[in-house]
Chains A and B, each alone.
Chain A
Amino acid sequence: MSNVDVVVTGLGATTPLGGDVASTWDAMLAGRSGVGHLTQEWAQQLTVRIGAQLKVDPSEVIERVRMRRLDRSEAIALIAAKQAWADSGLAEADLDKERLAVSFGSGIGGATTLLDQDDLLEASGQRKVSPHTVPMLMPNGPAAWVGIELQARAGVHAMASACATGAEAMSLGLDIIRSGRADVVVAGGTEAVMHPLPYAGFANMRAMSTRNDEPEKASRPWDKGRDGFVFGEGAGAIVLERADHAKARGARVYARLAGAGITSDGFDIVQPDPECKGGIRAMTKAIRDAGLTGADIAHVNAHATSTPAGDMGEIIGIKAAIGTHPVITSTKSMSGHLLGAAGALESIATILAIRDSVVPPTINLDDPDDKLDLDVAAHKARQLHIPAAMNNSFGFGGHNVALVFTRV
């Protein structure tokens, strides 16, 4: 437990449910799905032809010439970060930019740029490859662009921990402020790799749902009929700020990022530990870091991606680390799985759940797994006073990140 309080003062997102936080949150509370058919030519020959694509294309927000220099994952990171920045009111606050850092990651990075430019190289030779290729595909590109946009000068960090990336970005942001290296950190995750190659790769792992005829029903965490995750794209950003700094400028505060726990499984490159041992340790660390006990956690926004193997291990973990009392949900049932952005979007959902005293629903939980013995906000949003809540994220490679947010 640290004696430096860190609070959330800004939120931004562009997701399959909406082009900003308000529309995304409205869609979640209404139980709407962001999953649909893929109409792209390339998708028609694949075994998986559904996905959760952005509701608002970045080209509608960022001007054409700028888009030429940005990978899609960079463009949406910028959109989310700028929203969060505007939301925080820091633009008018005369912040010392040497006290502003960025912590922004991606699970896969600029793979679309890499693949498209390789097509050009193969077809037409070196001369046709864009001179913007390297800054577009480098995995630190999204963080770097956000840093340039906001003139952050306390360090720009880009982590990669697969589907735990967005949450790890929050955890690093918390560390940076606690250590005194910055007063404000813009933290987030981004992912945009709607391309046949990652689709083929995930599909051949048998990790994705093939419910091609009913896309809106494909993401169904904890349901007996779940058959894999739904590939999604999007970005989420959160402004983290030292509490006294936020207070001094009279900022609106959403919640407190009270604790984080990171562990690794040391077990398998893709399979989660079936007993969720690493997840349990992450959740336990996060609760302790927040100075709380399991009894304090009223709600968990679970990682639950709708895969047969992953969903139930986390249930074991939540019971072991927290108990049987929290009301849990998986917003991936609506947003799909945003991979490196998942932890960022789901942190936002957790924060807004605390603010609005409501747990967003898990849709499609029509026939719960026999081993599901926790209280899920199935089908409909549930009113709940939430003093403290947890967001879990787990990633390929055995990355486990748990975050605890509390009400202020």
Chain B
Amino acid sequence: MATRAEILAGLAEILEEVAGVNPDDVSEEKSFTDDLDVDSLSMVEVVVAAEEKFGVKIPDNEVQNLKTVGDAVSYIEANH
């Protein structure tokens, strides 16, 4: 089981790879779209990469609830 800190670090890695987000800018309170400038197509890539990395299923109807990085960390923590 990954800790919240580990999940956060993993998401930061994905965000850098997919969307060019500086890992130092990634923290739980940040909004994917408003703060990190992740557009809708890149968000799809982030979700697919996160599913693979953490062995979790993130259905499309859940993705819309993942507004902040913290939302994603919580979802992955609860479901992986």
A contact residues vs B (CB 8 Å cutoff): 63-66, 68-69, 127-128, 130-132
**Interface-lining segment among B4-12, B28-36, B41-49, B70-78:** B41-49
Q: Is the CB of A131 within 8 A of B44?
A: yes
Write out the residue numbers on chain B whose beta carbons fall within 8 Å of the beta carbon of A69. Answer: 41
Which of A68, A128, A131 is most buried by chain B, counting CB atoms within 10 A of its CB?
A131
B10-54 vs A, CB cutoff 8 Å, 1 = contact: the mask equals 000000001110000000000000000000011011001001000
Partner of A131, one of B19, B20, B41, B51: B41
| Chain B min CB distance to A134 (Å) | 10
Partner of A127, one of B18, B42, B48: B48
Q: Is the CB of A65 within 8 A of B41?
A: no
Give 15 A-B pairs besides A69-B41, A127-B48 with Cβ atoms closer than 8 angstroms.
A63-B20, A64-B20, A65-B18, A65-B19, A65-B20, A66-B20, A68-B18, A127-B51, A128-B48, A130-B45, A131-B41, A131-B42, A131-B44, A131-B45, A132-B41
**Please, how many angstroms separate the alpha-carbon atoms of A63 and B22 in the complex?**
14
Q: Which residue of B lies closest to A134 (CB)?
A: B41
| Chain B min CB distance to A130 (Å) | 7
**Please, how many angstroms separate the alpha-carbon atoms of A66 and B41 in the complex?**
13
Tell me the total A-B contact number using a CB cutoff of 8 A: 17
Write out the residue numbers on chain B whose beta carbons fall within 8 Å of the beta carbon of A66. Answer: 20
Give the interface SS of chain B, mostly helix, strand, loop or mixed. helix
**Please, how many angstroms separate the alpha-carbon atoms of A23 and B33 in the complex?**
41
B48-68 vs A, CB cutoff 8 Å, 1 = contact: the mask equals 100100000000000000000
B contact residues vs A (CB 8 Å cutoff): 18-20, 41-42, 44-45, 48, 51
| Chain B min CB distance to A74 (Å) | 15
**Please, how many angstroms separate the alpha-carbon atoms of A131 and B49 in the complex?**
12
**Please, how many angstroms separate the alpha-carbon atoms of A349 and B55 in the complex?**
55
Q: List 10 A-B contacts (CB under 8 A).
A: A63-B20, A64-B20, A65-B18, A65-B19, A69-B41, A127-B48, A128-B48, A130-B45, A131-B41, A131-B44
Write out the residue numbers on chain A whose beta carbons fall within 8 Å of the beta carbon of B20. Answer: 63-66
Write out the residue numbers on chain A whose beta carbons fall within 8 Å of the beta carbon of B18. Answer: 65, 68
| Chain B min CB distance to A338 (Å) | 30
**Please, how many angstroms separate the alpha-carbon atoms of A63 and B20 in the complex?**
9
| Chain A min CB distance to B30 (Å) | 18
**Please, how many angstroms separate the alpha-carbon atoms of A63 and B42 in the complex?**
16
**Please, how many angstroms separate the alpha-carbon atoms of A65 and B20 in the complex?**
6
Q: Which residue of B lies closest to A66 (CB)?
A: B20
**Please, how many angstroms separate the alpha-carbon atoms of A375 and B6 in the complex?**
72
Q: Which residue of A lies closest to B41 (CB)?
A: A131
**Please, how many angstroms separate the alpha-carbon atoms of A66 and B44 in the complex?**
16
Write out the residue numbers on chain B whose beta carbons fall within 8 Å of the beta carbon of A68. Answer: 18
Write out the residue numbers on chain B whose beta carbons fall within 8 Å of the beta carbon of A132. Answer: 41
**Please, how many angstroms separate the alpha-carbon atoms of A86 and B31 in the complex?**
36
| Chain A min CB distance to B31 (Å) | 19
Write out the residue numbers on chain B whose beta carbons fall within 8 Å of the beta carbon of A64. Answer: 20
Write out the residue numbers on chain A whose beta carbons fall within 8 Å of the beta carbon of B19. Answer: 65
**Please, how many angstroms separate the alpha-carbon atoms of A127 and B45 in the complex?**
9
**Please, how many angstroms separate the alpha-carbon atoms of A348 and B78 in the complex?**
60
Write out the residue numbers on chain A whose beta carbons fall within 8 Å of the beta carbon of B48. Answer: 127-128
Write out the residue numbers on chain A whose beta carbons fall within 8 Å of the beta carbon of B41. Answer: 69, 131-132
| Chain A min CB distance to B14 (Å) | 12
**Please, how many angstroms separate the alpha-carbon atoms of A64 and B17 in the complex?**
9
| Chain A min CB distance to B50 (Å) | 12
Write out the residue numbers on chain A whose beta carbons fall within 8 Å of the beta carbon of B44. Answer: 131
Q: Top 9 closest A-B pairs, CB basis?
A: A65-B20, A131-B44, A131-B41, A132-B41, A127-B48, A65-B19, A131-B45, A130-B45, A128-B48
